[in-house]
Structure 1
Amino acid sequence: MTEPTVLISGASIAGPALAGLLTRAGCTVTVVERAPALRPGGQAVDFKGATHRTVLERMGILDEVRRRRTGGQDQTIVDAAGRPQAVIPGEFTGGEIEIRRGDLAEILYDRSGCEYVFGDTVTSLTETTGGVDVTFARAAPRRFDLVVGADGIHSTIRRLAFGPERDYVRYLGYHYALAELGEELGGGEAQMYNEPGRMAAVGGPKASAFFVFASPELDYDRTDTAEQRQLLMDAYRGAGWRVPELMARIPRAREFHLDSLSRVTIDRYSRGRVVLLGDAAYGNSLGGFGTGLAIVGAYVLAGELRAADGDHRIAFARYEELMRDYAKVAQRGSAGPFLAPPSPLRIKLRNRTFKSRFLLGLLLKATDKFATGIELPDYASGS
């Protein structure tokens, strides 16, 4: 493989995963990340089935991911008085291997072997016959052979290379929030509470507190966490169970993240020398497949660049061909109505799913089918 220079925007999961694979293939990689450092902790993410397991193994991180796994934990759905209504088994919420997002990011970062530029972002892309001229908010301009947008649902690279976010991102009617409110909050037990259009959960590795709520699309400053915390508190005003206690802690949360459940609809993952990866390409519907898609996408993109000896036109076309159908799981709906059903009846019906071995079995089979729905090339052997 030739030795192209590659800029990756985004240092969550997809970016560092791709960086490590490309570095080992001989590329010179730079990762730029808006945040000042890697984000620690965060919600748990999971991997399901043979495809995810095979990619982790070929990346050389399977043993370390297993060593730092959280272990699936059952979650009890309760009513306003705290009485159990149903139990969501850990195998459903945690997949085959569950790990905190921050731990996974650290594993990938430690093995990426490339340059990281934190606290900066791309401001312009100009493609020429010889590469892509890139300007940054803080760093000096540079030229790269290829640019990868692995910077999430609100991708700066997608906006600069393809057009405004409104042309590609469709809001799915729900927002979610993650807050670290203290390990003692759940008392070691994972519990989830619903009211129509609202869900609140405590305990377990997803985060010490996790919220999903239906609402009109919210307009807010994504850099202003104080505004976001207030939006969440407003959305849960008047709720029962332990929600008032949780909301009282939100202003002091050690970590806090709020975002929309949205779908990306884009006819091509690449344009010229620029390509999209992870949520920037597939979207975030909170269906439990985002991390798996990011890891598999990184593996395929790096493998195709290697197989094409760095010819991005061939590699990007093959990446698109292989990932388009597999990534359709992100287009099949949203976890919002499942996690926060819109009516009391829908809440009861959802709960019955977890009381029926037959229905739960169908759900588990469906998730396994989605996770393994790609013929994974073995790039090391050339097949």
Structure 2
Amino acid sequence: MTNTNILISGAGVAGPALAYWLRVHGCTATVIERATAPRPGGYAVDFRGAAMTVLERMGILDEVRKRSTTIGDSEVVDTDGRHVVTMPAAIFAGELEVLKSDLTDILYAHTKDETEYLFDNSITAIDADADGVLVSFERGEPRRFDLVVGADGLYSKVRAIAFGDHVNYIHHLGLYNAIFSTDNFLNLDYAGRGCQLASGRTANVFSTRNNTEARASLYFGSDPLDYDRNDVEAQKRIIAEHFAGDGWVIPRLLKDLAASSDLYFTPISQVQMDRWSAGRVVLLGDACACASPLSGRGTSQALIGAYLLAGELATAAGDYEAAFASYENQLREYVKTNQAGAVEVVGMQFAEPPPQEVFDAMAANPPEADPELLTLKDY
């Protein structure tokens, strides 16, 4: 489908990765993003198996390696700061780990010269006909495209327009997560430190950017909360209320939270859908297959999905519906496995950590690169 004009909603990981591969295959990609620029902040993401292959085929693996967190072991302490156990990095860091914001910066840099980016804008309507799709925006005149891709995350605007209300697809797993930058006040040396607090709350701090700063990650259990996802100050108040009175370094972290400019606050949820496409609209990444951050595979799903979707469109001889179906069929089992793994992690989130011997045994047999789950085609 060369010369196809495709609109992508979302400039996180999935959207720019798809834009890259579409250009490789001779298609025109336009990316629309509600934020005013690539988003800062977020968690550290890791890669294994097929995701590493995609980075290599994109020609950015070495560049991503240079941004590696090179994170080591993570210590678990009690609320008085006393050592409990050490979690070896081999268990959770994958073959390569980087900050998500570093990855999005790299993807944007490699696509911005040949891809039109429409920041500070979003889709308001999608009207398809036999010849294409007429898309309306918050800002600017409507434009026509051949296809529309929703790569706009858990609360996908494209999904809401084309498939219906979020409540039909988002399954809350009972947790919320907040991540923000802080000083490396714990003097962590390429390492992390975490504490299980009372009543379903945990806190973790890990060093970043060659130990010059750190990221804090706070988890708390809760039923679905009603809040404005665009009101950062309201989100900060919710987090502060849940952790008020907690020990360890929580008072310091709450002060840093109040001053933070890169808060990432999200429910731990999954997206489950019977199909990922409807006519000329298809979903990608968290928009259709969110496994939650606890899966450790969300960014990998985005990269792999972008590679497969672009490749299938390139070889479909104009049959976009067949391309959408093949992309989905190849990725379904991988997503199913990742979502099941995340549910298991939720059950362990606030449990007492096992003895050190258990962690040592896990480190001696780290998670496989899972090549058996997915074999990438050469397009």
Task: Report the TM-score, using the length of structure 2 for normalisation.
Answer: 0.92
State the partner residue of 1:44.
44
Quote the residue 1:351 is aligned against.
Answer: 354
Aligned to 1:336: 346
- AA in 1 matched with 2:300: G
- Give me the whole-angstrom Cα distance separating, in 2, the residues matched to 1:192 and 1:55: 32
Aligned to 1:228: 235
Distance 2:175 2:41 in 1: 23
Change (3 A) 1:90 1:175: same
Q: Equivalent residue for 1:105?
A: 104
Give the secondary structure class of the aligned counterpart of 2:309. Answer: helix
Given the superposition, is the C-alpha separation of residues 64 and 359 from structure 1 closer, same or farther in structure 2, using an over 3 Å criterion? Answer: closer
Q: Does 1:182 align with 2:183?
A: yes
The one-character-per-residue Cα deviations of 1:137-194 (angstroms, maximum 9, x if unpaired) are 1121111100000000000000000000001111110000001122445544521000
Match 2:313 to one of 285, 291, 305: 305
Structure 1 CA distance for aligned equivalents of residues 263 and 254 of structure 2: 12
Task: Tell me which of 240, 265, 280 is aligned to 2:287.
Answer: 280
TM-align CA RMSD = 1.8
Letter in 1 for 2:347: P
> Gaps (5+ residues) in structure 2?
none
CA separation in 1, counterparts of 2:354 and 2:201?
15
- Aligned residue pairs total 368
1:289·1:329 contact (CA, 8 Å) conserved in 2? no
Matched, 1:217 2:224: yes
Alignment-derived partner of residue 10 in structure 1: 10
The reply to whether residue 377 of structure 1 matches residue 377 of structure 2 is yes
SS in 2 for 1:351: coil
- Pair 185,59 (structure 1): closer, same or farther in 2 beyond 3 Å: same
Matched residue of 2:139: which SS? coil
Shift of 1:104: 0.8
Q: Give the letter aligned to residue 145 of structure 2.
A: F
Give, in angstroms, the shift of residue 16 of structure 1: 0.3
**Can you list the C-alpha shifts for 1:278-314, whole angstroms capped at 9, x where unaligned?**
0001114211100111100001001111111342111
Q: Who is 2:53 aligned against?
A: 54
Q: Is contact 2:180–2:216 with CA below 8 Å preserved after alignment?
A: yes
CA shift at 1:263, angstroms? 1.0
Q: Aligned pair in 2 of structure 1 residues 180, 69: CA closer, same or farther (>3 Å)?
A: same
Distance 1:330 1:157, change over 3 A: farther
Classify the secondary structure of the residue corresponding to 1:8.
strand
Secondary structure of 2:70's counterpart equals: coil
3-state SS of paired residue (1:3): coil
Where do 1:112-191 residues align within 5 Å?
Answer: 112=111, 113-184=114-185, 186-188=187-189, 189-191=191-193
- Please tell me whether the aligned partners of residues 171 and 217 of structure 1 are also in contact (alpha carbons under 8 angstroms): yes
Mark the CA change 1:186 to 1:227 in structure 2 (over 3 Å): closer, same or farther: farther
Look up the match of 2:87: 88
Distance 1:372 1:175 in 2: 32
Deviations 1:208-229 (A, max 9, x none): 2111111111110000000000
Question: 1 CA distance for matches of 2:175 and 2:193?
Answer: 20
TM-score w.r.t. structure 1 length?
0.91
Residue 60 of structure 1 and its aligned partner are, at CA, apart by 1.4
CA contact under 8 A between 2:91 and 2:362: conserved in structure 1? Answer: no
For residues 326 and 38 of structure 2, the distance between their equivalents in structure 1, rounded to whole angstroms, comes to 31
Counterpart residue type for residue 7 of structure 1: L
Instruction: Quote how far apart the aligned CAs of 1:355 are.
Output: 3.9
Percent sequence identity is: 42
Contact 1:56-1:62 within 8 A present in 2 as well? yes
Distance 1:152 1:359 in 2: 32
Task: State the distance in 1 between where 2:156 and 2:15 align.
Answer: 12
Q: Which moves more between the two structures, 9-18 or 247-256? A: 247-256
Q: Relative to 1, partners in 2 of residues 1:253 and 1:14: Cα closer, same or farther, differing over 3 Å?
A: same
Give 3-state SS (helix, strand or coil) of 2:18's partner: helix
Deviation (angstroms), 1:107: 1.2
